[in-house]
A and B are shown apart, each in its own frame.
Chain A
Amino acid sequence: MNPMHYHKLLIEQIQKSLGSTPSLTPEFQALLEQINNSYHEFEADVAHRTEQLIASTSRAYSFLDSIKMGFIMCDVNPEVVLTNLSMKHILATRTGSDVTHAADTEWKLETVDVILRPAIELKNLVVNSLTTNQPIECKEVNFGIKVLRIFIAPMVNEVNKGENQKIGVVILVEDITEQKVLERSKDEFLSIASHELRTPLTAIRGNTALIKKYFASKLEDKDMAEMIDDIHTSSVRLINIVNDFLDASALEQGKIIMKPEVFALDEVVSDVVRELDHLCKEKGISLIRDTAIASLPKVTADKQRIKQVIYNLVGNAVKFTEKGSISISGHSAEQLVFITVTDTGRGMSEDSHRLLFRKFQQAGGNMLTRDTTKGTGLGLYISKLIVELSGGKIGLVSSEPGKGSVFQFSLPIAKI
């Protein structure tokens, strides 16, 4: 009712109670005037505050409606008190209803629960989160052709200092379909790339090997024989690059499962020495295996992968050593076995040390002075991933330009 109306009523009542005296004293008139004015002020104030409230509410609604994440707020009953536009977009495929705005609360928790079944039982989860006062996360919820991530968190309000009151639950829903599709195509890319790149390379490698083996007598021309040789060497190099790339990606993505077994590192070191001895003899450098490795305690790790690490360290030493020797030694301390590879090769300056175990890095760092005949710069990076996945550490112990380098890695001793 209008305040003016109350004013009129008030005067009527006053006249009634005063009897028939029709005129009012000026003081009385002034008082009534004041009452009247304060009504007006009060009215203006309410209007102003209502405006403010509407503005802030619609700001909150448009904020909620503009975020990409689906949002539902429930009270303690639990029943929906607020949702947003994204929530309705995300669930629209199943509700079939027109998408409206955040302020409308025609949704019941029951309805959303039914829509999301059988992937999850939302209502139970909400009740659970309310009673335990703990957030709940569902990382991958299959919803038709979509994949959703759902996060449920209890809301508390601090009534007094240190005294909390539960006021409900917030449900956040994120549409991660696109993300999942990307992940999948990345995985597929890996296996397709591995197959499709390797197959033609196999044919280049295999055919040139066959020519070299069975048709050597027909390759009288030295240049032609060298060309066939180079094609073969290049195909092997390319296969190794493909393998390094795929290995690094697979290790990064956790796609490689380590198959730990108990073994003596001596077996693996001997294998590597046997395989690389020929190359060392060709270069005129000696490859020395410390006999103490034979008496080291056994380790638990993936044998093939550890062989890959040792092969990489010793292989690098061979690559970068022109004269002198490469020695492999070992010791154990504090539940760890250490293998050390020492060479008398070209060594590295201090500022290139820190980049060593990083992806694609070769000591030297300059893109244009890369020595591409020495590999992709993935070897140490792959070795680091393998050693760390096996519970050990790998690093450069020391290196000096012109004098050589010392690399070392550790593995946990097998618990038998």
Chain B
Amino acid sequence: MTKILLVEDDPVIYRMYQKAFKLEGFTTELAKDGLEGLDKLKTFEPDIILLDIMMPKMNGVEMLEKLKAELKTKNIPVVVLTNVSDPGVTHEVFGKGASMIIVKSETEPDQVIGWINSVLNKNKNPDSSSPLEQPQVLE
């Protein structure tokens, strides 16, 4: 069963994804900011992390940096879910090791599930010749 750490502060958004993932049979652990996310990772080992950018206490970019600096977490794929369409931010999170960026408003929940599955498949078969097609991010 796919285990997801969802780091997202907005209730209407996290509740929507929690429902979508439950309906799809994923296990979801929720953290409402970056600090809580790092805390959850002490006991929870997800297959993938879904990370929002704009959050209180510790934002997504800061958390991504911490994740990639830690031996224990640096190999967990991170999918950034955001509604910030700033090319600077997009560039920054890729530079810091995000596997994918999804613009929330442009993507239906079942498409998000599809992208999660393809990131996980790609991670399982790193030699797979099919390149992962990044969903269109219009900046």
Interface residues of A (CB under 8 A from B): 191, 194-195, 198-203, 205-207, 209-210, 213-214, 239, 242-243, 246-247, 256-257, 304, 308
In chain B, positions 105-124 with a C-beta closer than 8 Å to chain A are 105-106, 108-110
B1-14 interface code vs A (CB 8 A; 1 in, 0 out): 00000000010110
B110 and A195 contact, CB distance less than 8 A: no
Q: How many residues on B have C-beta within 8 angstroms of the other chain's C-beta atoms?
A: 23
Task: State which of B105, B136, B138 has its C-beta within 8 Å of the C-beta of A201.
Answer: B105
B105 and A198 contact, CB distance less than 8 A: yes
B131, CB-defined interface residue at 8 Å = no
A206 and B108 contact, CB distance less than 8 A: yes
B12 and A199 contact, CB distance less than 8 A: yes
B86 closest partner in A (C-beta): A191
Interface residues of B (CB under 8 A from A): 10, 12-13, 16-17, 19-20, 23, 54, 83-87, 104-106, 108-110, 136, 138-139
Nearest 7 pairs of A and B residues by beta carbon:
A203-B12, A198-B105, A198-B83, A202-B104, A209-B108, A202-B105, A206-B16
Residues of A within 8 A of B23 (CB): 210, 214
Residues of B within 8 A of A194 (CB): 83-85
Given contacts A200-B12, A202-B13, contact A239 B85 (CB under 8 A): no
How far does the alpha carbon of A199 sit from the alpha carbon of B109 in the complex, in Å? Answer: 14
Q: Helix, strand, loop or mixed for chain A's interface?
A: helix
Task: State which of B12, B84, B139 has its C-beta within 8 Å of the C-beta of A195.
Answer: B84
Residue from B104, B105, B108 whose CB has the most chain A CB atoms within 10 Å: B105
Residues of A within 8 A of B139 (CB): 256-257
B86 and A206 contact, CB distance less than 8 A: no
How far does the alpha carbon of A213 sit from the alpha carbon of B23 in the complex, in Å? Answer: 10
* A to B CB contacts below 8 Å, 26 in the list: A191-B84, A191-B86, A195-B54, A198-B83, A198-B104, A198-B105, A199-B10, A199-B12, A199-B104, A201-B105, A202-B13, A202-B83, A202-B104, A203-B12, A205-B105, A206-B108, A206-B109, A209-B109, A210-B19, A210-B20, A214-B23, A242-B105, A243-B105, A243-B138, A247-B138, A304-B136
How far does the alpha carbon of A402 sit from the alpha carbon of B13 in the complex, in Å? Answer: 46
How far does the alpha carbon of A308 sit from the alpha carbon of B87 in the complex, in Å? Answer: 17
Residues of B within 8 A of A214 (CB): 23
Residues of A within 8 A of B83 (CB): 194-195, 198-199, 202
Task: State which of B19, B87, B106 has its C-beta within 8 Å of the C-beta of A257.
Answer: B87
How far does the alpha carbon of A214 sit from the alpha carbon of B136 in the complex, in Å? Answer: 26
Residues of B within 8 A of A242 (CB): 105
A209 and B110 contact, CB distance less than 8 A: yes
